[in-house]
Amino acid sequence: MGERQHEDPDLVTASHHDMLSSVLGSKEEAVSSIVYNYKHGFSGFAAMLTESKAHQIAESAYLLRPLKQKIERLYLNLSCDFMRERERERIHNVFKLPEVISVNRSRSVPLHTTRSWDYLGLGYEKPQSTGLLRRGNFGDGIIIGVVDSGRRIWPESRSFDDHGYGPVPSRWKGTCVDDSDISVDYRSPRDFQGHGTHTASTAAGSFVGNASFHGLGAGVARGGAPSARLAIYKACWAIGGCPDAAVLKAIDDAIHDGVDILSLSLSELLHPIFASIHAVAKGITVIFAGGNDGPVPQTISNDLPWVITVAASTIDRSFPTDIILGNGRTLVGQSMCYASSDPGYKELVPFGSCSVVPQYLTQLADKIVLCFDAAGETSLLLAGLTQAGARGAIIARFPRSLLPDCSGIACVLVDYDVGGQIANYAKVENASGRIPVVRVSPASNIVGNQVMSPRVAAFSSRGPSIYYPDLVKPDITAPGVDILAAVRDGYQFMSGTSMACPHVSGIAALLKVVHPHWSPAAIKSALVTTAHTANAYGFPIEAEGVPRKLADPFDFGGGHIDPNKAADPGLIYDKTPLTVWRTVTNVGDTDSIYRAMVESPPGVNTVVEPSLLLFNASTTTHTFAVTFTPLMMVQGDFNFGSLTWFDDGKHAVRIPIAVRVIIHDFISDTS
């Protein structure tokens, strides 16, 4: 994935053909072997080659790289699964090509599986002077590229109704692919899975009244930038996942087409995330989902410095559900049970772990079971209960926000205390010769400050980065739990950093309207430095896990996104090649004075020089240094602090600090 040596895309493609012709023996075979040509944003191609040929290309690239001063950088993404064994020897010729820097086998990456916008302060009623939604003109004129499983483009998806929109921006160079259905998936931007539909409508869906999931979460559904244009790039399929060759092609096309924002709710990317640097170099803000492998540390995905990596957190909405025992006592859990799923009173059958599927499943038909979930794995049991004809499941586990997928049966979550009370009721009833019964009522909606939020979701991947430990990742957290958005047949709740990512994409689109000349780094800086680390009551944001803890920068980066503050951050950090010295640009009042306030990480002395920044009409940027000195020569873990620049009270420009003291020639504590 390198710079193009030709401005003409046809010449770039011709160079790919010439290269492969020298290996495969003919131009016709070279043309037929290429799956994708990357010719707009960078140079490279994906080709169907044998493993031996791929090995030959890579070996040559490694040996010849020091000898070349100027190389046409090519990215070859090779799929070897469908090639005959007798062709393997042909790979060796490709390895000998000096134009090749790297050769990689094509992989597939997984998809990262509405109150949220009002919760973020982007309500429709906000005045233009203070609300980013109106200041940003609803995202009008901005093009958001979404790389995902596609989008349902037929008229039934009201979230994509473009009635009343003006002309397409003149800078748009792309074309729309005609829709053509095939049996399992759609060879077009049409979405078979629903994941891409959900993420696209979250970023820029139109206003849709009376949207709900069977009455839950009812209200107006919309995207963060409802007047922005959507360019959908389908790189994920029902069979085969998201091949990185297809993701690369989507990024390359998006660069050519003229998108302003690129939103990728995908994880475990390797080669495509490096290709994203070409998009950023063209002024495109690139936003990635951080992954759903939390709360384990060092699980963060898509962690390069030039992209925005997003964690997932909760919003101020919950779905309390009454659990009515046969003795008349009512307890409360959380569920997405709706009226038609109410099974009435049914026999209660308690047993142990939710991760163990009992052998007597067939005896659970028309009953409600109670189990205790310590491992976080309930999918096999729930699938078995549904197949067996059970009517419901009560799952007791350590408190967390994510509700399980219980399609087909009434399913409710409770904490261990409530689970123990239900189990004790069943024990007393059985000891008395009575059959314990229970009813799971339909859920209700609660919205507002009585729901403690935000909390970083347990599933949200955590830092630090394995590959780039000097970076604080993720960069920011955004709503990603129980998000209501469009799917194939209406509206549905989904959770994941996939849902958090398009929230940031929609906000970035609004910022691009208000500040059209901001670079991707400036947009990222505004989002990170204005994020908040406390909830509505002023308490520190928590991170879910076992047990819960106070969130730190490896959970949520700079904190929880605050769109309206990001529109007026005061100072912005633009990217520089240095890491110790940093440069800030004044985007606030012309005559401003900022003072540094440091919350030093424990065990470290932090000095900022200069600690006072004076801006005026002729001085709009300042450079400062931050020096860290350990107070104890002790091998340590990461500790956290922050640096905040304050002006006269209007702005507080905060960045997180993560420091680890490392003593050279000392065995590191890696436990």
Which is catalytic among the residues 17, 195, 198, 278?
A: 195
Which is catalytic among the residues 148, 185, 253, 482?
A: 148
Tokens 């046409």 belong to residue: 72
Amino acid at 379: S
What's the CA gap between 192 and 405, in Å, rounded? 19
Does the annotation count 195 as an active-site position? Answer: yes
> Which of 8, 22, 26, 13 is CA-nearest to residue 74?
13
Q: What is the 3-state secondary structure (H, E, C) of 541-601?
A: CEECCCCCEECCHHHHCCCECCHHHHCCCCEEECCCCCCCEEEEEECCCCCEEEEEEEECC
* Residue 73 near residue 2, CB atoms below 8 Å: yes
Q: What is the DSSP string of 337-381?
A: --GGG---SEEEEEEEETTS--TTGGGGTT-EEEEEESSS--HHH
> Which of 598, 307, 244 is CA-nearest to residue 473?
307
* Residue 22 near residue 28, CB atoms below 8 Å: no
> Which of 542, 655, 546, 666 is CA-nearest to residue 606?
655
Q: What is the DSSP string of 177-202?
A: PPP-B-SSSBSSS--SSSHHHHHHHH
**642 pairs with which residues across the strands?**
599, 656
Q: In this structure, which long-range contacts are made by residues 394-397, counting pairs with CB atoms below 8 Å and at least 24 apart in sequence?
A: 394/323, 394/333, 394/368, 394/369, 394/370, 394/419, 394/422, 394/438, 394/440, 395/354, 395/371, 396/370, 396/371, 396/372, 396/420, 396/422, 397/354, 397/372, 397/373
Does the annotation count 148 as an active-site position? Answer: yes
The number of CA neighbours under 13 Å toward the Cβ of 460 is 40
* H or E element at residue 70: none
**349 pairs with which residues across the strands?**
369
Task: Take residue 508 and report the two structure tokens written for it.
Answer: 């970035």
Does the annotation count 498 as an active-site position? Answer: yes
Active site residues: 148, 195, 498
